[in-house]
Homo-oligomer: A and B are copies of this chain.
Amino acid sequence: MGNAGKKQRSPDAKARVGDKDEAAYLASYKAKDYPRPSVTVDLVVLSILEGELRLLLIKRLAHPFKGRWALPGGFVRVGDGFEDQGEDLEHAALRELAEETGLPEGSIFIEQLYTFGRAYRDPRMRVITVAYYALLRPELAVKVVAGSDASEATWWSLSQPGQPELAFDHQEILERALTRIRGKLDYSDIAFELVPATFTIAELRAVHEVIQATSYDPGNFRRRFNRMLTDGIIEDAPGHRPTSTRPARLYRFRGR
């Protein structure tokens, strides 16, 4: 171990120095001599369970911050650098998400959030993390189990006080994710990622209410909803959702 620098150098680099043509130049490129940071992806995984906004946290089994709760994430695979440049960032995020939740890779919505790279944010070494947020429909969220590395995974409520102190700068990442999501909720389609495949108006309203931590007038919300209907963003779905009183009509997101 500790031979990463060696492995990443093209084997016959020196031989081609001096060649003017670009292909040869690439082979002899020496930029790898600069120190490089480690790059990770971290995920703010959110869902709504039992009417509360919930965050998926993993208990760290190793130093640093051993025993503390942290966002799921891990190193981006960059291959050997030259012949194999490894996986895309989004792929790394989806892979880590699948590994740490046990869910299949498809059908999980993620979006890049921000990149956190403050020096000393990881005490071990320079680590730059590309943060994503993921939104899980409740049907999927309940299937989450601890990943193959046997680490503990738990849905913490953000709707109630008493979250644990997070490892690294993960609290800051979480807050930026919430701010972003709150800002995008009204003008984007992300709310539909937190609702079952077919849903009632009240269910969609509950998503908005839980995320914004306010309450909306049912009548006014319905009006906004009706505009989405006439705009073709959503459509009727067959059946009704039984409730404690009058059953509610079902709808379906038409996106994508």
Using CB atoms and an 8 Å cutoff, list the residues of chain A in contact with chain B.
1-9, 22, 25-26, 29-39, 63-64, 66, 75-76, 78-82, 85-89, 112, 114-115, 117-120, 123-126, 128, 130
Contacts and interface: CB of A to CB of B under 8 A. Distances in A.
Given A29-B124, A120-B85, A35 B114 contact: no
A78 B35 contact: yes
Contacts of A87: 119
- The number of times this chain is found in the oligomer is 2
Given A2-B5, A2-B6, 5 more contacts: A1-B33, A25-B63, A82-B124, A85-B126, A89-B118
A125 B33 CA distance: 12
A74 to B, nearest CB: 10
A227 B211 CA distance: 29
Q: Nearest 3 CB-CB pairs, A to B?
A: A5-B5, A85-B119, A1-B33
